Amino acid sequence: MIVCNNISKEYKHGSARKRVLSNVNLTVNPGERVALLGRNGAGKSTLIKLIAGVEMPTSGKVTRKMSVSWPLGLGGGFQGSLTGYDNARFIARIYQRDYSQIKDFVEDFSELGRQLRMPVKTYSSGMRARLAFALSLAIEFDCYLIDEVILVGDQDFQRKCRHELFEKRTDRAMVLASHSTELVRELCDRAVIIHKSEAQIYSDIEQAVDIYSQL
Amino acid sequence: MARSHLRKLREGWAVQLRVTHALMIRELTTRFGRENIGFLWIMVEPLLFAGLVALLWRLTKGPEEHGVSIIAFVVTGYIPITLFRHGVARSVAVFTVNSSLLYHRQVKILDFIIVRFVIEIIGGMMAYAFIATILIIVGEMPLPDNMGLLIAGWFLYAFFSFSLCLIIAPLSEMSEILEKFVPVTTYVMIPFSGLFYMVSWLTPKAREFILFSPFVNAMEMMRKGVWGDQLTAYYSIWNPLGFSVVLTAIGLGLCRHVRRKLAVE
Number of helices and strands in chain B (H, E): 10, 2
Tell me if A56 is assigned to some domain: no
pLDDT for B182: 86
B251 touches B166 (CB < 8 A): yes
Total tally of structural domains belonging to chain B:
1
- A86 interfaces chain B, CB cutoff of 8 Å: yes
- Per the structure, the complete domain to which residue B154 belongs is given by 2-261
Q: Which residue of A has its CA nearest to B25?
A: A90
Q: Are B59 and A131 in contact (CB under 8 A)?
A: no
Q: How far is A105 from A91, CA to CA, in rounded Å?
A: 13
Amino acid residing at A12: K
Whether residue B177 lies within 8 A of chain A, CB to CB, comes out as no
Q: How many structural domains are present in chain A?
A: 1
Kindly state whether A82 is in contact with chain B, defined as any CB-CB distance less than 8 angstroms: yes
In percent, the amount of chain B with pLDDT more than 70 equals: 100
B19 contacts A90? CB cut-off 8 A: no
- Please give, rounded to a whole number of angstroms, the shortest distance from the CA of A204 to a CA of chain B: 32
Q: Are A119 and A155 in contact (CB under 8 A)?
A: no
Q: How close B98 gets to chain A, by Cα (Å)?
A: 9
Gyration radius of chain A over CA positions: 17
Inter-residue contact B120 to B164 (CB < 8 Å)? no
d(CA A4, CA A57): 10
Nearest CB to B104; choose among A11, A70, A81: A70
> How confident is the model at residue B187, as a pLDDT?
86
> pLDDT per residue over B171-224, tens digit each?
999 988 888 888 888 888 888 888 888 898 988 998 989 999 999 999 999 999
Residue A105 domain flag: yes
Give the Cα separation of A54 and A64 in Å (integer): 13
**Amino acid, single-letter form, for residue B48:** L
User: What is the 8-class DSSP label of residue A71?
Assistant: P
Number of Cβ pairs < 8 A linking chain A and chain B: 61
CA A57/CA A7 separation, integer angstroms = 6
Amino acid B246: pLDDT: 97
Check residue A152 and give its pLDDT: 66
A94 vs B106, B260, B265: nearest CB: B106
Question: What pLDDT is attached to residue A150?
Answer: 63
Query: Per-residue confidence of chain B (265 residues) as pLDDT tens digits?
Result: 678 889 999 999 999 999 999 999 999 988 887 777 778 888 888 888 888 988 898 888 888 888 888 899 999 999 999 999 999 999 999 999 898 899 999 999 999 999 999 999 999 999 999 999 999 999 889 999 999 999 999 999 999 999 999 999 999 999 888 888 888 888 888 888 888 888 989 889 989 899 999 999 999 999 999 999 888 899 999 999 999 999 999 999 999 999 999 988 7
- Give the predicted TM-score (pTM) of the model: 0.90
Is there a domain that residue A174 lies in?
no
pLDDT of residue A74: 64
Question: Rounded CA gap, B231 and B223, in Å?
Answer: 8
Interchain contact, B263 vs A11, CB within 8 Å: yes
Dihedral angle sign, alpha carbons of residues B169, B175, B179, B184? negative
d(CA B16, CA A212): 44
- The whole-angstrom separation of Cα B28 and Cα A129 is 26
Q: Is it the case that residue A149 has pLDDT exceeding 70? A: no
**Cβ-based contacts of A54 with chain B (< 8 Å):** 102-103, 105, 264
Closest partner CB to A79 (pick from B19, B21, B26) = B26
**What is the pLDDT at residue A76?**
63
CB-nearest to B259 from A56, A91, A95 is: A56
Instruction: Print the domain residue range for A131.
Output: 77-140
